[in-house]
Amino acid sequence: MAIVHIGLSCYDQFFFIDQTPAENVKTFSTQFLESGGGPAGNAAYVTGKWKTPTYILTTLKDDIYGRKINQEHNEVGVNTDYVIMNDNQVSPLSAVWVSAETAARTIVTHKNNGSKVLTAEDYALLNELADKLNAQPETHIILLDGHELEISKYFIPRVHNKIVIIDADAVREPVLDLLHLVDYCVASEEFAQKLINENDLHPGNFARALEAMEKLCAPGNKPVITLGERGGIYLDDGLLHAYPAYDVRAVDTTGAGDIFHGAFCYGIAQGWELSKIVRVAALTSAIKIQEQGVRNAIPDIDFVLNAYEKKTIPVKALDTIN
């Protein structure tokens, strides 16, 4: 069994500031960090760090940043042999402002926003990985974030036994184009709101949002919506469930969703019930946001499971449904 992450892998530069500046002013950061990032990249880092066979499929330029991104993944055991890396691509870079006042982050990313140029050699590389996975009897897990549409649409149908998860952060055409392939749509609150044309999510429209997601995905799918400080909701066997948020002091929320998705994939790989998966994923994310940065703040799996089993981190009152 392997977990394949398809999507954006970038290089992040974090600027920690007292508060988000107004337009047309200068300010100085109080601290600076840099590391690999991106939704797929961070999720892959989680499953690699947690000792699960992990592959990353993304496009990078063969430059200093592309090599740094791959090196960081390799350090936690992520297989980068099938990364499409050549001068036709762009190594994505992100500038991340983190406010000490609110712990909120503002991100600007430079990436290739157009169609990707993939060669016959690139497609042969994807075929090689699909053949390798198909030679194994296990069911594999594929996580998408919609940022590598060409790779996703080509690769997914070529893997025979698979569970497909998508990080639906926003209502974007590439995300909508992939939903019919998806078994677990793990969506942000923003995605769910826009999908049903509502300004906010509340108990009165939770079911409608989840059912709208369910209709767009593969038969038998289970939709999940993360609600930040309110926890989250999901459908399982047609029933609406909620899970609580953990009561922690946020220092830096950058990558919180990425870490959730990585832990979610790990839970699927372990064969856990969905109720445990979302709680462990939420706990992992809560532990991470108490520190600055992303990958340096990802906890070990033993620490997470100990905290989950012993309930060492309090949860907030669960009032998302009632």
Please indicate, yes or no, if residue 318 is contained in any of the structural domains. no
CA 8, 289, 190, 94 torsion: positive or negative? Answer: negative
- Rounded to two decimals, what is the model's pTM? 0.95
The reported pLDDT for the residue numbered 322 is: 47
Query: Residue 135 burial (CB < 10 Å; 0-12/13-18/19+)?
Result: exposed
Q: Say if residue 67's pLDDT is above 80.
A: yes
Encode pLDDT of 174-210 as tens digits.
999 999 999 999 999 999 999 999 999 999 999 999 9
Task: Find the angle CA(44)-CA(50)-CA(55) to the nearest 5 degrees.
Answer: 35
The reported pLDDT for the residue numbered 113 is: 86
Please indicate, yes or no, if residue 315 is contained in any of the structural domains. no
Please indicate, yes or no, if residue 317 is contained in any of the structural domains. no
Q: Write out the residue range of the structural domain in which residue 88 sits.
A: 3-310
Domain count of the fold of the chain: 1
Which helix H or strand E contains 309, and what residues bound it? helix 301-310
* DSSP symbol at 298: P
Please indicate, yes or no, if residue 35 is contained in any of the structural domains. yes
CATH number at residue 117: 3.40.1190.20
Please indicate, yes or no, if residue 299 is contained in any of the structural domains. yes
Question: What separation, in Å, do the N-terminal and C-terminal C-alpha atoms of the chain show?
Answer: 39
Encode pLDDT of 217-260 as tens digits.
999 999 999 999 999 999 999 999 999 999 999 999 999 999 99
Whether residue 53 contacts residue 136, with contact meaning beta carbons closer than 8 Å, is answered with no
Please indicate, yes or no, if residue 316 is contained in any of the structural domains. no
Please indicate, yes or no, if residue 319 is contained in any of the structural domains. no
pLDDT band at 116 (very low <50, low <70, confident <90, very high): confident
**What is the chain's length?**
322
The reported pLDDT for the residue numbered 18 is: 93
Give all strands (DSSP E) within 26-136, no chain letters: 31-37, 54-57, 59-60, 84-85, 93-99, 105-110
User: Quick one: angle between helices 274-288 and 301-310, nearest 10?
Assistant: 110
- Report d(CA 106, CA 96) in Å as an integer: 6
- Report d(CA 290, CA 211) in Å as an integer: 33
Please indicate, yes or no, if residue 102 is contained in any of the structural domains. yes
